[in-house]
Structure 1
């Protein structure tokens, strides 16, 4: 195979999350869902530091990389997509927190939701970093 379809990475990403909005959009409006997933992937690509392959070799019209990615490379991109998926949720919570103040926020929001989202995103980023380190050493670079 000389290319890797974005859908291969999207599948791995979707297996790791429980986002009913995205999964519902895949059924009722797949073009919109693809745009969401493509946005996460575009944001994840530059964060895949030390990739030995040129990830800019891609075709946005065909939704594919014009290179063959290994399972590890796909896994790293899918994991980085999770961090990108969590970022808007955290940014939205930050906005609410700053707008209504900490006392009202704690009264009207599930306890520690923002803190938990931040910790989850940090854990996902840590996981992606560990995968990249393992990938880097496997490449013998």
Structure 2
């Protein structure tokens, strides 16, 4: 079985936020803010840093996502691996300033053909997470 890019799917979600790239970057890279919209974590914006996201355990899963920071390009790109439940994937956030705020592109890549349920679950999860990100940004992130 090959793990080449042609054999995998990528989930892409794009949103424009009425906030500066600096404000969005903070919400993507500061541990307490990430915990408010995504999951509990021990993230640090340093390439090579290994960290975990943690959620409530479920019957088939311990609630741990093992990650490693791959790219940190302040105010532009952030990427980390996302490994859980047999899925070895990569999340990439790309920020671009717009006249009224910031365009955010989130790509979650690496879903194999036999991981259709994981792909659909990620689509549902990321829509929910990004909704939470909007709420955090609308709050008092300076």
Q: TM-score, normalised by structure 1?
A: 0.29
Structure 1 or 2: more strand by fraction:
2
Which has the larger share of helix? 1
